[in-house]
Amino acid sequence: MEALAEANHGHAVAYGDDPWTERAVADFDELFDCDTVTLMVWNGTGANVLGLASALSPGGAVVCTDCAHINVDETGAPERILGSKLIDLPATSGKLSARQLESLRHQIGVVHHVQPRILSITQSTEWGTLYSVAELEALCHAAHDLGLYVHLDGARIANATAALGGTREALRSFTTDIGVDVISFGGTKNGMMYGEAVVFLDRSLASHAGYVRKQITQLPSKVRYISAQFSALLHDDLWIRNASHANQMASLLHSRLVGRSDLSVSAPEVNSTFPTFSPAIEQHQIEALREWSYFYDWDTAGRQVRWMTAWDTQSDDVERLVTGLDHFLS
């Protein structure tokens, strides 16, 4: 908010030719230690579509997991705006293996099949899991070997960075170092009011990206408000500290849930836990709890739900939730 108030003073040339945006782009260049093309956009769906659009040629397709956000939570925006098929491979705990990409090889060069052109992976994943650096490196290698680019959906890239070491080197270890081509770099889930960035590490993919951003409705007239927030977030690695905190709050939450008889829960890898209610708990108790504090179902049949922590979750919030559990599940 403070970054915004500052950007709010005075006028500036619209659509990104402003000093705030120039600075934010330089901040991203420094973060990744390379000469990126970085474009600010409104939201995550827009970031994903822009990143993917830039790599697709006619007849091309996107490869992703069956639980990818682009596949199930974006109301078909990729298909509508890209006009391309998503080839969804079955994920295990939200993750894809390099070996799975081999199944694509038979369709390459055959005119009756869409041509895989870009692999989109999510780190940390929609299931709250983390790829190891070695796993991602193998995926990137396999993708490039098949002639595919690699897009990283980084709506929670900060949580992944925090979990994998919490440094800029950690970030680079699973992005620039292994050949990721373009990243959707999340801001909204890490404390920004709004705004995401598309970071092209392979600049050659960005040749039309400026036009595409506007064409897909993702060019903000007052870009500086997003840029100012990103600069504030990247400054002194605040984005990593925010995410570390969220991850720690998930660990705290987990530690306070372990041993309860009314639910079971695995240890979180980043900032989400997925408790499963015991059969003894009745559905109306779960609904009363949800009424008190909203959460999403994860696996309705299995009575599993998702509880996420955020950059602004406090340990008091965790304690309050535990008190709520005691109240509503007893």
83 binds a second copy per the rule CB under 8 A: yes
5 binds a second copy per the rule CB under 8 A: yes
3-state secondary structure of 169: helix
Out of 95, 156, 213, 254, the residue judged to bind a second copy by CB under 8 A? 213
Q: Least Å distance between CB 43 and a second copy?
A: 6
Nearest CB to a second copy, comparing residues 110 and 284: 110
| Burial track 45-66 (b if 16+ CB lie within 10 A, e otherwise) | bbbbbbbbbbbbeeebbbbbbe
- Whether the Cβ atoms of residue 271 and residue 156 lie closer than 8 Å to each other: yes
111 binds a second copy per the rule CB under 8 A: yes
Q: Least Å distance between CB 135 and a second copy?
A: 24
320 binds a second copy per the rule CB under 8 A: no
| Burial track 200-225 (b if 16+ CB lie within 10 A, e otherwise) | bbbeebbeebeebbeebebbbebbbb
3-state secondary structure of 321: helix
The token duo for 126 is 């929609």
Out of 19, 76, 147, 302, the residue judged to bind a second copy by CB under 8 A? 76
- Whether the Cβ atoms of residue 85 and residue 79 lie closer than 8 Å to each other: yes
Nearest CB to a second copy, comparing residues 159 and 175: 159
- Whether the Cβ atoms of residue 176 and residue 34 lie closer than 8 Å to each other: yes
- Residues near 310 by Cβ (< 8 Å), separated by ≥ 6? 189, 246, 249, 271
108 binds a second copy per the rule CB under 8 A: no
The token duo for 141 is 């290698």
Distance separating alpha carbons of residues 134 and 136, to the nearest angstrom: 5
Nearest CB to a second copy, comparing residues 113 and 168: 113
Q: Least Å distance between CB 262 and a second copy?
A: 24
Q: Count Cβ atoms within 10 A of the Cβ of residue 163 and give its class: 0-12 exposed, 13-18 middle, 19 or more buried.
A: buried
283 binds a second copy per the rule CB under 8 A: no
Q: Least Å distance between CB 51 and a second copy?
A: 12
- Placement of tokens 């680019």 in the chain: 149
Distance separating alpha carbons of residues 159 and 310, to the nearest angstrom: 10
Residues numbered 286-305 forming contacts with a second copy, rule: CB under 8 A? 294, 300
- Residues near 39 by Cβ (< 8 Å), separated by ≥ 6? 50, 197, 198, 200, 206, 209, 210, 213
Nearest CB to a second copy, comparing residues 149 and 174: 149
Q: Least Å distance between CB 82 and a second copy?
A: 8
147 binds a second copy per the rule CB under 8 A: no
Out of 96, 157, 201, 219, the residue judged to bind a second copy by CB under 8 A? 219
222 binds a second copy per the rule CB under 8 A: yes
Nearest CB to a second copy, comparing residues 33 and 105: 105
- Whether the Cβ atoms of residue 160 and residue 175 lie closer than 8 Å to each other: no
Residues numbered 113-132 forming contacts with a second copy, rule: CB under 8 A? 113-115
Nearest CB to a second copy, comparing residues 81 and 150: 81
Out of 35, 112, 236, 284, the residue judged to bind a second copy by CB under 8 A? 112
Longest CA–CA span in the chain (Å) reads 61
Residues numbered 43-72 forming contacts with a second copy, rule: CB under 8 A? 43-46, 49, 53-54, 56-61, 72
Q: Which stretch binds a second copy (CB under 8 A): 2-10, 166-174, 229-237, 271-279?
A: 2-10
Binding residues for a second copy (CB under 8 A): 1, 4-5, 8, 13, 15, 42-46, 49, 53-54, 56-61, 72-77, 79-81, 83-86, 106, 111-115, 188, 193-194, 207-208, 210-222, 225, 294, 300
